[in-house]
C-alpha cells in the first residue's frame, strides 16, 4: 500500500509524539489536523532542518512522508 496517498490521521499524526505536541502547544497544536494543515510548510521546514522536535531529528523517511502529504493535498 506504499502508493496510497498519506492521510493526517493514519500517517502524519502518529509522527508527533505527545511530548512534541506538548512542547509546541504555544505555537500550534500538532494533534490538530487544522493546525498542522495551516502550518504545514513551517512544520516541514522545522523537521527538515532538525530544529523540531527539539531532542532529535526525524529520519529522512518521516520527513519525506510529511512532504508527500503536503504535496498530495493534505488529506485528513
Q: Is residue 11 part of a domain?
A: no
Beta bridge partners of 75: 7
Mean pLDDT within 58-71: 97
Q: Is residue 7 part of a domain?
A: no
Q: Is residue 4 part of a domain?
A: no
Q: Is residue 50 part of a domain?
A: yes
Decide if pLDDT at 54 tops 90: no
Mean pLDDT of the chain: 95
d(CA 39, CA 17): 17
CA dihedral 24, 26, 31, 35 (to 10 degrees): -110
Residue 66 is predicted with a pLDDT of: 98
Q: Is residue 35 part of a domain?
A: yes
Residue 1 is predicted with a pLDDT of: 47
Q: Length of the chain in residues, anyone?
A: 76
Q: Is residue 62 part of a domain?
A: yes
Split into its structural domains, the chain has a count of 1
Q: Is residue 23 part of a domain?
A: yes
Q: Is residue 46 part of a domain?
A: yes
Domain containing residue 54:
16-71
Contact, 1 vs 44, CB < 8 A? Answer: no
Amino acid at each position: 500500500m506504499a502508493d496510497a496517498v498519506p492521510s493526517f490521521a493514519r500517517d502524519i499524526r502518529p509522527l508527533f509524539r505527545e511530548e512534541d505536541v506538548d512542547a509546541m502547544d504555544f505555537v500550534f497544536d500538532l494533534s490538530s489536523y487544522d493546525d498542522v494543515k495551516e502550518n504545514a510548510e513551517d512544520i516541514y521546514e522545522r523537521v527538515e532542518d532538525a530544529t523540531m522536535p527539539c531532542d532529535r531529528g526525524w529520519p529522512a523517511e518521516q520527513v519525506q512522508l510529511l512532504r508527500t502529504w503536503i504535496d498530495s493535498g493534505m488529506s485528513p
